[in-house]
Structure 1
Amino acid sequence: MATSPRSPPPAPAQEFEISRQSRIFAALSKKVIDLDELRMMAAQGVPDAAGVRSTVWKLLLDYLPNDRSLWEQELAKKRSQYAAFKDEFLSNPVEVARQVGKQGHGNANAERVDNGLLHRSEVTQEEHPLSLGKTSVWNQFFEYSEIVEQIDRDVKRTHPDMHFFCGDSSFAKSNQESLKNVLLIFAKLNAGIRYVQGMNEILAPLFFVFRSDPDDKNAKFAEADSFFCFVELLSGFRDNFCQKLDNSAVGIRGTLAKLSQLVAKYDADLQHHLEITTEVNPQFYAFRWITLLLTQEFNFADTIHIWDTLLSDPDGPQSMLRNADPCPEAAPGRRFHLQPQAPAELPPNRHQTPPVRRKQVALKLP
């Protein structure tokens, strides 16, 4: 009796991928997810199976609790909160003035207000376009107009080679609008940092992964989910975006000094070649690595896989620099002993803003 030929055994790489998928699916299916176990698996790369990376990243960034029974409640609360932020911070001053007029003058004036015209006596000082009051909706609108323009320019330049982010399609334009909304709301909630050029590049991988989730409901709320994950991600290295901290141990120059010491520890010849022989300051090759989390050094697909590992560290994507101890002589309690360095010119497109506390960056909630 003839028998059908057997299928060839899977190749080792295929076997590994199947095993990796089954292990991470098993980890995600637990009622209470072991985050330490998940981080170990994510550090080796998250499978490209539908929706897995979206869920894993949300867990790694503490957006989702490890108790699965709380997911629906937590997501509903956060997404509702984001909708409230949009209503509060992205309102058009004209519409606000109309609503104030309707509420303040009743139905008798409704027709006049609906036509877009308010009698001069009905416009309060705070509603007047020339008002300089801090609570004036117009003053706040004009105050952020420059930030809005900068965000708009940067978002339009985000991955111009990808139809997801760029092009004339309604899908691409909708995605651009979502990026702009997230960045503007972040800027308004965090006056100490506001918006710094390059934040769009950090937001892009998050939004892409969440918007590509095959679950329609999750994809629909990708903007809200991206906002909270972006906030959490940025809170771990916010000081790199504060120009007034540039020359401090926690600012960008301090971080570059740590990187230089790390290179010296593991490859002294390379460090000598870079900084002594060729006199290349670390800022010229590492500034983008650190501030943009390698998003500009690799193609987008590779960046996504690299971020699997970066996000898996519980101390944040820059923990390698913070935890290294290249100076044994450093005083107890200090991980680094920073040597004074001659100031180097940093990119000019950085805002001179005061430092902020983590809670300010995380959110300003009532």
Structure 2
Amino acid sequence: MASDGARKQFWKRGSSKVPGSIQHVYGAQHPPFDPLVHGTLLTATPKVPTTPVKATRASTFQEFESSTSDAWDAGEDDDELLAMAAESLNTAVVMETAHRVLRNHSQRQGRPRPPGAPEPSAEPSVDPSAAPGGDLRLVKSISESHASCPEGSASDAAPLQRSQSLPHAATVALGGAPEPSALSTSALSEREASRLDKFKHLLAGPNTDLEELRKLSWSGIPKPVRAITWKLLSGYLPANVDRRPATLQRKQKEYFAFIDHYYDSRNDEVHQDTYRQIHIDIPRMSPEALILQPKVTEIFERILFIWAIRHPASGYVQGINDLVTPFFVVFICEYIDDEDADSADISRVPEDVLRNVEADTYWCMSRLLDGIQDNYTFAQPGIQMKVKLLEELVSRIDEQVHRHLGQHEVRYLQFTFRWMNNLLTRELPLRCTVRLWDTYQSEPEGFANFHLYVCAAFLVRWRKEILEERDFQAQGS
């Protein structure tokens, strides 16, 4: 018949390439044989088929069976053996076996093991209260025990099984490991020193590998080399070491030439509105202890006014002033020992050092703004576009938060405009802003594109609070 021919071809194709070993599957009511109780049932003699088969119909299958001797360990009389086992393995036998296992287990747990003795083999234990009605059943494996547990108890048993599979050393560590705050400070300082050495080694070469510097800076820049690293990553300084001193001198001279040429015009009618707005915004900045120092206020006024005059397409826009602070703090930290630069006394810094810091701050801020200037042109189209992109991003990564905001008529522009306008400088402490900018500067379009993902991460991080909120208008007031 056609079906027999197709079946024959099937067995021929797979006759020599069927791997694995097929084992019997026992149900909960039919446990496996116990060799101690039913040793006579299992023999090593080869199985002989009780019913002869026709060679013409089964020859192909017999060839397949002989070529895969590891696939079947039992013959065609398995049903008879299973029937015998079902009759012999009654409840009394099962109970007796279970109690014997429990006794052996308790004796081994209570009796100390002599030195040099081998590890006892693990035996399954049975809890009489585990089964309904006190019915004791042998557990063949952990997976079977999970399968036989009720849904309510499965989750409770899971941690126990997981902890039993852990190494013994890990279990001890869970109970006696020191708190994270108790970690050795020397080990921490060693890691910091090792990281600093990597930066110094990279920066000491005749030509700094900027790509490698970006990779190293992505996870943070050590304070001693942060200033020089920022100048390199922003494109203010060249990668060649020999060219850096001349570049610094030229750029600093160029900046103060702008001061001499433009700054006196701040009181002219055409520029006085710009200067007045800058003069009003600077005292509102933070940290106040630093910004309100007269020398710092003058530096910020000059930087912002010169930038506005030289970029008439946007001019000065509120929010640009907050982008000066991180650069100024990082660059001034090269010359002061104060651990907290937020309140450092700038009056102790020499005048020539302040001039260098002012010029470096101006040029690095200008490099940053060159990449996001459309944020500050008329109608601020860059911010409008970024807010729209952020909305699309959140709708993809967390649709529930996105839908919740829409249901409560919260527009992304209402709360993310300042995130884009100030680059989160008003939302984060200064030290966090500096650390975040380490990563921004290591990204090719960090302030323009990567910033969107940081904003989205904020929303996802506080999604629980957002989803619980029902009155966003009260929060904003």
TM, length-normalised to structure 1 = 0.66
Give the structure 2 partner of residue 273 of structure 1.
Answer: 404
Give the structure 2 partner of residue 24 of structure 1.
Answer: 199
Residue 214 of structure 2 is aligned with which of 16, 28, 39? 39
Counterpart contact for 2:232–2:239, Cα < 8 Å: yes
Counterpart contact for 2:265–2:271, Cα < 8 Å: no
Give, in whole Å, the separation in 1 of the partners of 2:221 and 2:256: 30
Alpha-carbon deviation of 1:9? 6.8
Give, in whole Å, the separation in 2 of the partners of 1:318 and 1:78: 25
Residue 81 of structure 1 is aligned with which of 250, 254, 257? 254
Give the structure 2 partner of residue 226 of structure 1.
Answer: 361
Q: Is 1:240 matched up with 2:375? A: yes
Give runs of aligned pairs for residues 1-366 of structure 1, distance below 5 A: 12-49=187-224, 52-91=225-264, 141-159=268-286, 161-166=287-292, 172-214=293-335, 219-244=354-379, 246=381, 251-274=382-405, 276-320=406-450
What amino acid maps onto 1:320 in structure 2? F
Give, in whole Å, the separation in 2 of the partners of 1:299 and 1:91: 35
Give, in whole Å, the separation in 2 of the partners of 1:55 and 1:311: 12
Note the residue ranges of structure 1 that are not aligned, 5 or more in a row: 1-7, 94-137, 167-171, 325-366
Counterpart contact for 2:314–2:378, Cα < 8 Å: no
What amino acid maps onto 1:22 in structure 2? D
Counterpart contact for 1:210–1:218, Cα < 8 Å: no
Between the aligned residues of both structures, percent identity stands at 30
Is the helix fraction higher in 1 or 2? 2
Counterpart contact for 1:182–1:223, Cα < 8 Å: yes
What amino acid maps onto 2:371 in structure 1? G
Counterpart contact for 2:217–2:438, Cα < 8 Å: yes
Alpha-carbon deviation of 1:219? 4.5
User: Structure 1's 269 and 196: CA in aligned 2 closer, same or farther, altered over 3 A?
Assistant: same
Alpha-carbon deviation of 1:10? 5.4
Alpha-carbon deviation of 1:210? 1.4
What amino acid maps onto 1:284 in structure 2? Q
What amino acid maps onto 1:262 in structure 2? L
Secondary structure at the counterpart of residue 403 of structure 2: helix
Counterpart contact for 1:65–1:71, Cα < 8 Å: yes
Secondary structure at the counterpart of residue 259 of structure 1: helix
Secondary structure at the counterpart of residue 438 of structure 2: helix
Alpha-carbon deviation of 1:244? 3.7
User: Structure 1's 212 and 14: CA in aligned 2 closer, same or farther, altered over 3 A?
Assistant: closer
Secondary structure at the counterpart of residue 444 of structure 2: coil
Give, in whole Å, the separation in 1 of the partners of 2:216 and 2:204: 14
Note the residue ranges of structure 2 that are not aligned, 5 or more in a row: 1-182, 337-349, 455-477
**Cα deviation 1:251-272 (Å, max 9, x = unaligned):** 3221101011111122121211
**Cα deviation 1:145-182 (Å, max 9, x = unaligned):** 111110011112111x442212xxxxx21111011001
Alpha-carbon deviation of 1:15? 3.3
Give, in whole Å, the separation in 1 of the partners of 2:184 and 2:305: 53
**Cα deviation 1:61-103 (Å, max 9, x = unaligned):** 100001111001101110111111011001269xxxxxxxxxx
Counterpart contact for 1:255–1:321, Cα < 8 Å: no
What amino acid maps onto 1:238 in structure 2? Q
Alpha-carbon deviation of 1:142? 1.4
What amino acid maps onto 1:81 in structure 2? E
The number of residues matched between the two structures is 258
User: Structure 1's 53 and 321: CA in aligned 2 closer, same or farther, altered over 3 A?
Assistant: closer
Alpha-carbon deviation of 1:245? 5.1
Give, in whole Å, the separation in 2 of the partners of 1:35 and 1:142: 45
Alpha-carbon deviation of 1:194? 0.8
Secondary structure at the counterpart of residue 290 of structure 2: coil
**Cα deviation 1:179-217 (Å, max 9, x = unaligned):** 100110111111111100111101111112112222876
Give, in whole Å, the separation in 1 of the partners of 2:207 and 2:325: 30
What amino acid maps onto 1:312 in structure 2? S
What amino acid maps onto 1:239 in structure 2? D
TM, length-normalised to structure 2 = 0.51
Give, in whole Å, the separation in 2 of the partners of 1:259 and 1:63: 30
What amino acid maps onto 1:177 in structure 2? E
Secondary structure at the counterpart of residue 446 of structure 2: coil
User: Structure 1's 9 and 148: CA in aligned 2 closer, same or farther, altered over 3 A?
Assistant: closer
Alpha-carbon deviation of 1:284? 2.0
Secondary structure at the counterpart of residue 195 of structure 2: helix
Higher alpha-carbon Rg: 2
Structural RMSD (CA) = 2.3
Alpha-carbon deviation of 1:16? 2.5
Give, in whole Å, the separation in 2 of the partners of 1:272 and 1:142: 50
Q: Which structure has the higher relative contact order (CA within 8 Å, separation 6+)?
A: 1
